[in-house]
Amino acid sequence: MVLDGLSLLAVSAGVLFFLSGTLGILRFPDVFSRLHALTKADGLGLGLIVLGLALQAASPVVIGKLVLTWIVAALSGSVACYLMAHFERERSEGPHARP
């Protein structure tokens, strides 16, 4: 019963972080602040959802798969954020701004 409540709380908090990240994408003025809101809120949101699901998992193998999914999503999100920020910086500065 307590475990179910903690799981529901973690998943609900994760969904709220996802929603706040989405709101940040829609409301923030520039690309860099949008990317920051997206990666931070989504990373924490996914971590809380994984925690909530891990509390309900039947075996350690399932928990391991959940954690592995979270790690892969965090790494790919970081790489995608870097690439988008790098592209935006080059696009805004022009090809001859930096050597």
Q: What is the pLDDT of residue 97?
A: 56
Mean pLDDT, to the nearest integer, of 45-53? 95
Question: For the whole model, what pTM was predicted?
Answer: 0.81
Residue-wise pLDDT tens digits, 7-37 = 999 999 999 999 998 888 888 888 888 888 8
User: Which tokens is 7 given?
Assistant: 């799981």
Residue indicated by tokens 């307590």? 2
3-state secondary structure of 81: helix
Which band of pLDDT confidence, cut at 50, 70 and 90, is reported for residue 96? Answer: low
Name the amino acid, one letter, at 8: L
Q: Are 37 and 28 in contact (CB under 8 A)?
A: yes
Q: What is the pLDDT of residue 4?
A: 92
